[in-house]
A and B are shown apart, each in its own frame.
Chain A
Amino acid sequence: MSSEWEVVIGLEIHVQLSTISKIFSGSSATFGAEPNTQASALDLALPGVLPVVNEAVYPKAIAFGLGIGANIGTRSCFDRKNYFYPDLPKGYQITQMDEPIVLGGEVEISLADGTTKTIRVTRAHLEEDAGKSLHEDFHGMTGIDLNRAGTPLLEIVSEPDMRSAEEAVSYAKTIHQLVTYLSVSDGDMSQGSLRCDANVSLRRKGADAYGTRTETKNVNSFRFLEAAINYEIVRQTDVLDSGGKITQETRLYDPDKDETRPMRSKETATDYRYFPEPDLLPVIIDDAFIAKVRDSMPELPAQKRARFHMEMGLTDEDSRVLSSELGLATYFESCVSICGDPVIAANWVKGDLLGGLNRDNIDISHSPVTAQAMAEIIIRIQDGTISGKIAKNVFNAVWEGKTDSVDDYIQSEGLVQVSDSQELEPIVDRIITDNPKQAAQFRSGKTKILGFFVGQVMKETAGKANPKQVNDLFISKLTD
């Protein structure tokens, strides 16, 4: 886009907190239950019901705040946001307007060209999720499921610091990584645990004032986020280039048509009449509580990546990959703690393990080869029991479920590497005797023929001979 327009993007990300019960009621907050089986009198907004705050939302919100270097609201209050919609039973949402739990903060994002950028966070606040509307026809009606109504959300609002869809997606991914790392959310976007609202506007390059923005709501995948933003950029550019004006409105992304279109509900242009929630009192968080959260926070992705690189000696790239996802990092570290060799472990995890997971579309939490098993295989390579090549057979066997014990498999399949010179020497001697031509070639300086010799022994021993040993034996015997 070589136009005179600069893209300005801000994201509001709604993260579902992984609590057991809802934020204001004691209903279960789990996903996927039968409609309205997790909707109590409170969730249904029956006459006379009152909210009570779930304590578990605070450590999570505070951990997030600390993770982005933000200020924690030692006094945070709730407010009512008033509007009518069938998935909002009370006719108002309990949210935080004036005194949110987290203020400020920033996040560093990585871009494809290797550079990084800081994106500032305005605030993050606690609120309740709405229910769901099912538009499949009930003879002309819409069905409302209030299971989700009251699930705790942390709404993370960024400053309009992003300038491209790539930056927005990178930011969203970084937030996703952080909230999963901190166990703030399960981050399962297919279940709606993380949803993005993208505010997009254009302004002339060099201008100070922001242009009119549109808000594209409830995007629940990074791919859709990128597509939606790019669509908006093109659409707005077209409008402005032809002298038109952008209408401030709320839009929805339609993945089937790959376009955004205006939302039709009136909810979008309303006065929310925020006022302090009279049924709830201010929540006071003291410094001791914040310190406790800080002390029990896990290592952040950036810290882990640095540690992998600096302390474990992994490459930049390996560090990045292995720290990118908490499940993967935990697997890797677990493996290292057992086998003690980060470099070998990194190769195996990044290589065979990730390869298998991607090929078979399995999440690491369901990996057929556990970190324990992985470590055992590596240990057997390290102690010479099996060669690297044989190790791959063992790995595959465990993966396919042919065995659940690395050592048993090695023994039962007779895969123990042969390193005993007494066993190997006769074979080496015989191969030399049987291949005088090649022997002569080696002695005349063609050292690469060693590969042939080693290969013969490997063939004869079905791969079990210790290749280094064999190599050394050949060298010593051929250079006599």
Chain B
Amino acid sequence: MINRSLSQQLDDLDKGEYSSVELTQTYLDRIENQQSLNAFVSISTDVLEKAKQADQLRAAGERKPLLGIPLAHKDIFCEAGVRTTAGSKMLNNFISPYDSTVVSLLRNAGALSLGKTNMDEFAMGSSNESSYFGAVKNPWQVDRVPGGSSGGSAAAVAARLCAAATGTDTGGSIRQPAAFCGITGIKPTYGRVSRWGMIAYASSLDQAGPLATTAEDCALLLSAMAGPDEKDSTSSAVQVEDYSKSLSQDLTGKKIGVCVEYMQGLDAEMSRVIEEAIDVLTRLGAEFMDISLPTSPMAIPAYYIIAPAECSANLSRYDGVRFGYRCENPENLEDLYKRSRSESFGQEVKSRIMVGAFALSAGYYDAYYKKAQQIRRLIKNDFLEAFKSVDAILGPTTPGPAFRIGANTDEPQAMYLQDIYTISANLAGLPAISLPAGFIEGLPAGIQLIGNYFDEATLLNLGHQFQAQTEWHKQAPELST
């Protein structure tokens, strides 16, 4: 059952092939067995009880889009009564008193929560090495990173510890781990999914999205997660489509752009993966053309100013006063603040807070923060121009496959460049999907498709049709037991 996709599991449950309790128990056993992957921070204590209720509802004829399906939630989503840590010592003991909209919507759609997945601390990272709870291992090769910051979610799905998981993406944190772990992940348009209850890293870049083995599964999950939320001022009122309806549309005449800047200097193996994917899509009727996104090289510098700047303010609330970690015996107020924060934030978080504050500080605001937000305008304009001629833009998700744990710890620049293909979509607020598209030296490689605003349907359609012709998404790693 664990090798069935989420959509297939729904079918199986409806046909009575197995029960939700059986499915859930199977997953719980696997999670227990694969603790060395360190994909989970906490496991739900009442999920079997909820599975039983789901089975009862199903037996009574009730049907909900995700009834009885066990999911994992990235530990960045607040879940009422459940420990929500954001991968940080600061929130190690934080039992959220309320539900995030994402968790609430998925629960209402009938899904069960298996547990909370490990992540880079406060979503800052591309390797899941910065978590207070330790690094997550890539199930394909355990000396490799799964990617980040949704590393736990990606590893869990890849290792078939759950059929799907939620993640968040600020600079590539859904797509890059999906690529490293050989699964599918989509970052929706900014504002498509509510950020209420999603612990904030960079407010104008963060978006929640699903990770699963197939585009079909992602479509189902996104339909349940998406929509306006009056509690999130930045959420969009644009109508949510039923993404599953358009999955099988014919690709004839779909225009796909290949970004010349992305293909420059690309690793030979990754180029091969891209070329093969282009072949598949061409055979399906898509038309390819070159497009240019000239401001692309500025995406990384802009991101590494904007995200830290916003995070430096978003993380000011962590002060040991109303919740979270508090240092012992603070001597005075300043000591309370400084030690509570410094003793519980990891190095990467501290570093980004410092950079962010600097970029906003008197005398530097114009040169750094304002400049970056203007560069962002150029990047957005580049895309608007490109989408006049194409429906989607294809490229690699990452420069190469998963790197070794510890490889980039002392190479911050190398770490930053991991996000080179994914970051622009966040800056512009555009949707983007990563699809498994091959292997490089035994490790998964992903291709990325970027779509126009609120055109997740095209991305999921392209993904689904691509997966109808390929088998990459069906591959699962061999796990050590």
Determine direct contact between A and B, CB below 8 Å: yes
Q: Which residues of A come within 8 Å of B, CB atoms?
A: 41, 44-53, 80, 82, 84, 86, 89-92, 144, 266, 271, 273-275, 278-281
B175 nearest CB across to chain A (Å): 22
Alpha-carbon distance between A331 and B117 when the two chains are bound, in angstroms: 66
- Asked if B231 and A52 make an inter-chain contact with CB atoms under 8 angstroms apart, the answer reads yes
Task: Contact check, A47 vs B199: say whether CB atoms are below 8 A apart.
Answer: yes
Given the known interface contacts A84-B316, A91-B316, A279-B234, the answer about A45 and B365 at a Cβ–Cβ threshold of 8 Å is no
What are 16 A-B contacts with C-beta separation under 8 Å? A41-B97, A46-B98, A46-B323, A47-B84, A47-B91, A47-B96, A47-B200, A48-B195, A48-B196, A48-B197, A48-B200, A84-B316, A91-B313, A273-B362, A275-B369, A278-B310
CB of A49 within 8 A of CB of B196, answer: yes
8 A-B pairs with the lowest CB-CB distances in the bound complex, closest first:
A91-B316, A273-B360, A278-B203, A278-B204, A45-B317, A48-B197, A47-B199, A48-B78
Looking at the assembled complex, report how far the CB atom of B41 sits from the nearest CB atom of chain A, in whole angstroms.
Answer: 15
Type the 1/0 row for B56-88, where 1 means its CB is closer than 8 Å to any CB of A: 000000000000000000000110000010100
Which of A47, A144, A273, A275 is packed against the most chain B CB atoms within 10 Å?
A47
Given A47-B84, A50-B196, A84-B337: A275 touches B313 (CB 8 Å cut-off): yes
- B248 contacts the other chain (CB 8 A): no
**Residues in B whose Cβ lies below 8 Å from that of A49:** 196-197
Smallest CB–CB gap between A83 and chain B, Å?
Answer: 9
Closest A residue to B324 by beta carbon equals A47
Q: List chain B residues, Cβ under 8 A from A273.
A: 312-313, 357, 360-362, 365
Are the C-beta atoms of A90 and B321 separated by less than 8 Å?
no
Pick from B78, B94, B203: contact of A279, CB below 8 A: B203
CB closest residue in chain A, given B85: A47
* A39: nearest chain-B partner, CB-CB: B322
Q: Which residue of B lies closest to A271 (CB)?
A: B362
Alpha-carbon distance between A236 and B96 when the two chains are bound, in angstroms: 52
Does B199 lie within 8 Å of A275, measured CB to CB?
no
Q: Which B residues are CB-close (under 8 A) to A278? A: 202-204, 234, 310
In the complex, residue of chain A having the shortest beta-carbon distance to the beta carbon of B334: A266
Bound: A84/B318 CA distance, A: 11
- Nearest chain B CB to A274's CB is how many angstroms away? 8
A90 touches B317 (CB 8 A): yes
| A84-B337, A144-B321 known; A50 vs B362 contact (CB < 8 Å) | no
- B313 close to A48 (CB less than 8 A): no
Q: Does B279 contact A (CB under 8 A)?
A: no
Do B316 and A82 have beta carbons less than 8 Å apart?
yes
The answer to whether A52 and B319 have CB atoms under 8 Å apart is no
The interface residues of chain B lying within 8 Å CB-to-CB of A51 are: 233
| A45 and chain B: residue at smallest CB distance | B317
Contacts of A44 in B (CB 8 A): 322-323
- Tell whether, in the assembled complex, residue A89 and residue B337 are in contact, meaning their CB atoms are under 8 Å apart: no
**Residues on B with beta carbons closer than 8 Å to the beta carbon of A279:** 200, 203, 233-234
Is A275 within 8 A of B317, CB to CB? no
Per the bound structure, the CA–CA distance linking A425 and B362 in Å amounts to 92
Q: CB-defined interface of B207-245 with A at 8 Å, one 1/0 digit per residue?
A: 000000000000000000000001111100000000000
Given contacts A48-B195, A280-B234, 14 further A-B contacts (CB under 8 A): A41-B97, A41-B98, A46-B78, A46-B317, A47-B78, A50-B233, A50-B234, A52-B230, A91-B317, A92-B313, A266-B334, A274-B365, A278-B203, A278-B234
**A80-B313, A89-B322, A273-B357 in contact; A281/B233 too (CB < 8 A)?**
yes
Interface flags for B311-337 (1: CB within 8 Å of A; 0: not) read: 011001101011100000000011001
User: Which residues does chain A contribute within 8 Å of B96, judged by CB atoms?
Assistant: 46-48
The residues in B between 353 and 398 inclusive whose CB is less than 8 angstroms from any CB of A are 357, 360-362, 365, 369
- CB neighbours of A144 from chain B (8 A): 321
* Bound-state Cα–Cα, A47 to B233, Å: 16
Whether, in the assembled complex, B164 has its beta carbon less than 8 Å from a beta carbon of chain A, the answer is: no
With a cutoff of 8 Å between Cβ atoms, the chain B residues found around residue A274 in the complex are 360, 365
Bound: A91/B311 CA distance, A? 12
Report which of A46, A52, A84, A89 forms a contact with B97, defined as CB distance below 8 A. A46
Is B333 touching A281 in the complex (CB atoms < 8 A)?
no
Most B C-beta atoms less than 10 A away, residue of A48, A82, A281: A48
Closest Cβ of chain A to B380, distance in Å, is 15
Scoring B residues 293 to 313 as 1 if CB is less than 8 Å from chain A, else 0, what string do you get? 000000000000000011011
Q: How far is the CA of A45 from the CA of B314 in the complex (A)?
A: 10
* Inter-chain contact B195/A50, CB cutoff 8 Å: yes
List residues of chain A with CB within 8 A of the CB of B365.
273-275
Interface centre among B84, B317, B321, B361 (most CB of A within 10 A): B317
Q: Which residue of A lies closest to B99 (CB)?
A: A48
Chain A residues near B98 (CB-CB < 8 A) = 41, 46
A84 → chain B closest CB, angstroms: 6
Verify if B198 is at the interface (C-beta below 8 Å from A). Answer: yes
Provide the residues of chain A in CB contact with B34, threshold 8 Å: none
Q: Of B198, B334, B360, which is in contact with the most chain A CB atoms at under 10 Å from its CB?
A: B360
Alpha-carbon distance A48/B103, docked complex (angstroms): 13
Whether, in the assembled complex, B408 has its beta carbon less than 8 Å from a beta carbon of chain A, the answer is no
> Contacts A279-B203, A280-B233; is A91 near B196 (CB within 8 Å)?
no
On whether A91 and B233 interact (CB within 8 A), knowing A48-B196, A278-B204, the answer reads: no
Distance, CA A271 to CA B364, complexed state (A):
12
Query: Which residues in B have their C-beta under 8 angstroms from that of A281?
Result: 233-234
For A80, give the chain B residue with the smallest CB separation.
B313
Q: Does B100 contact A (CB under 8 A)?
A: yes
Residue of A nearest to B357 (CB): A273
Which A residues lie within 8 Å of B232 (CB)? 50, 52
CB-CB < 8 A to B202: which residues of A? 278
A49 to B196, CA, bound (A): 6
> Shortest beta-carbon distance, B339 to chain A, in Å?
13
Which B residues are in CB contact (< 8 Å) with A50? 195-196, 231-234
Cβ–Cβ contact A82 & B97, under 8 A:
no
Most chain A CB within 10 A, of B204, B234, B319, B361, is at B319
